[in-house]
């Protein structure tokens, strides 16, 4: 399998104004293959988002290197789309204009950009809502618009930072299924970050467990050999899913406890 995105012994140290230093990521090595859906799971506050920001090029590593299609990454990763946990839609643009933004920035004529946006609006189930502004949309609708905004530029890599964590359970499972359907149609490489183990297993080909911070790094990985296409709600009932969950949780549990103790001590 071709390596699309790779972390080579990456370290990230944040320095504060008082000369203190915090090692967020320590010696992380990880790679995402072509067309692979990889989830990274770790306890809350362990620096998961830092990993994604590294992959996006929004943050440079203090040591080691991030490689995209074999090339060291410098600046913004233009081969990646980023689905943020928080709302990243431009509030002054309608849903349609938000989705059309990427093509517009790339110099696609406005009419064509809007036409493509219109297609994606339909694909993510927002047909007829194109003229709504973000403040008029529900959490689920905003996520759909964000997804369309990211996918319309057709990036080979998709970075997702707990994108569905703010949604209610029903909307969330609906969105997860839709994400899988869209991914299956395009086979992008996905780096999905979550603290929800069930979500990770039901979506992924591979699940990587991160250690508790500071100096977080991958400590274990599991191949998820559940059959596709999957229905995220149904697959959670299968014995094999439960088996996998049990095995992974056994590893993750310790890290969660460590993180919890640190949180309690702080």
First to last CA, the chain: 43
How many residues are present in the chain? 266
Please state, in angstroms and rounded to a whole number, the distance separating the CA atoms of residues 23 and 13: 4
Closer by beta carbon to other proteins, 6 or else 153: 153
Helix (H) or strand (E) holding 209: strand 206-210
Please state, in angstroms and rounded to a whole number, the distance separating the CA atoms of residues 252 and 43: 8
Name the minimum Å distance from CB 82 to other proteins. 4
Stretch that binds other proteins, among 73-81, 211-219, 222-230, 236-244 (CB under 8 A): 73-81
Name the minimum Å distance from CB 229 to other proteins. 28
Q: How many residues bind other proteins (CB under 8 A)?
A: 29
Q: What is the DSSP string of 94-127?
A: -HHHHHHHHHHHTT--HHHHHHHHHHHHHHTT-T
Binding of residue 17 to other proteins (CB under 8 A): no
Binding of residue 226 to other proteins (CB under 8 A): no
Stretch that binds other proteins, among 109-117, 142-150, 198-206, 211-219 (CB under 8 A): 142-150
Do 180 and 174 contact (CB within 8 A), yes or no?
A: no
Residues from 91 through 110 that contact other proteins (CB under 8 A): 91-94, 101-102, 105-106
Residues that bind other proteins (CB under 8 A): 56, 58, 76-78, 80-82, 84, 86-94, 101-102, 105-106, 133-135, 146, 149-150, 153
């Amino acid at each position: 399998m071709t390596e699309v995105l790779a972390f080579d012994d990456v370290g990230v140290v944040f320095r504060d104004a008082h000369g203190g230093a915090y090692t967020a990521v320590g010696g992380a090595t990880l790679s995402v293959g072509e067309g692979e859906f990889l989830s990274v799971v770790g306890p809350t506050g362990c620096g998961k988002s830092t990993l994604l920001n590294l992959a996006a090029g929004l943050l440079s590593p203090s040591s080691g290197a991030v490689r995209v299609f074999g090339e060291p990454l410098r600046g913004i990763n233009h081969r990646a789309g980023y689905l943020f946990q928080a709302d990243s839609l431009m509030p002054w643009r309608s849903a349609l204009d938000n989705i059309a933004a990427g093509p517009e920035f790339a110099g696609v004529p406005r009419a064509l950009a809007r036409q493509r946006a219109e297609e994606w609006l339909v694909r993510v189930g927002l047909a007829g809502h194109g003229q709504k502004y973000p403040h008029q949309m529900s959490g689920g609708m905003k996520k759909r618009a964000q997804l369309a905004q990211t996918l319309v530029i057709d990036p080979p890599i998709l970075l997702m930072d707990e994108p569905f964590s703010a949604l209610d359970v029903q909307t969330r499972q609906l969105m997860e299924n839709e994400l899988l359907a869209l991914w299956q149609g395009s086979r992008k490489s996905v780096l999905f970050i979550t603290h929800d183990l069930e979500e990770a297993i039901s979506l992924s080909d591979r699940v990587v467990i991160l250690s508790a911070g500071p100096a977080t790094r991958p400590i274990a990985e599991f191949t998820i050999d559940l059959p596709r296409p999957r229905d995220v709600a149904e697959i959670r009932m299968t014995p094999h899913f439960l088996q996998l969950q049990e095995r992974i949780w056994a590893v993750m549990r310790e890290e969660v406890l460590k993180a919890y103790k640190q949180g309690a001590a702080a």
